[in-house]
Every structure is written in C-alpha cells, then in structure tokens.
Amino acid sequence: MKHQPPPVVERFGCCRVGEVGVSTITAAELEFGVADSGSDQQRNREALDRFLAEVSVAPFDRLGALAYGPGRLQTRERRRDGLDKLIAAHALALGAILITNTPSDFQAYPGLVIENWLE
C-alpha cells in the first residue's frame, strides 16, 4: 500500500473496474497493517479506504472453505502459512489469479494460477 512499485501501478492502470479484487482475508491483513501503523495510522487508513473503494472485496464463503481442506492437507508441513493457505484456497474457489510478489509462498498449491506483477 505504501510503496507501490511502478510496474504494479502500471498493471492496475490497465485494469477495468471489477477486474481486480481482494479476498476478505487479504483485506483483514491490510486492516491489521493499518491498526499496527502507529503514527501513520490516519494516513494508512485513508490510503486503504481509497484502495478498497476501487477494488471489490470477495467474501470467503463455503466454496473457499471447501477448497481450504485439500490445500491445507497438501501443504500441512508448511505450518507458518495459515493465512496464505486461506488466501490460496479463496483464489482457487473463485477461479481467480493470485497476484503476489512472493510466488514461492503459493507454489505448493496445486491448480493455483499465480502472477507476479513485479517481474
């Protein structure tokens, strides 16, 4: 949110309204970032509100829960990745492409399509 690399800004600029969204789980992580931002909290709150006004927030529903079970089973040795597992399951359930600058965090999820907009 704070440091948007030019390639990411450019990719967002090429997207139409409704083409890009975030998982409620990602939105929750962003909310934590705002809450934990100390003296920058007001500025970060405004930035997050502007961002979430531009993208849809997809609810994590039963289909996400169904996708989570098999994904967690296949990646259970990766204990520290609890939220990543939920985000991956949500993307799979939505049939969405997961955009991340850390693709290695998600490569263990079969069938998940990943893009890194920094490459």
* pLDDT tens by residue, 60-99: 999 999 999 998 888 878 766 788 999 999 999 999 999 9
* pLDDT tens by residue, 1-40: 667 788 888 888 888 888 889 999 999 999 999 999 999 9
The domain that contains 104 carries what CATH number?
A: 3.40.50.1010
What does the pLDDT read at residue 2?
65
Number of domains in the chain: 1
What does the pLDDT read at residue 30?
94
**What angle, 0 to 180 degrees and rounded to 10, lies between the N-to-C axes of helices 82-94 and 24-35?**
140
Amino acid at residue number 33: G
What does the pLDDT read at residue 61?
95
Q: 1 in a domain, yes or no?
A: no
- Whether the CB-CB separation of 89 and 67 falls below 8 Å is answered with yes
Structural domain boundaries enclosing 79: 6-115
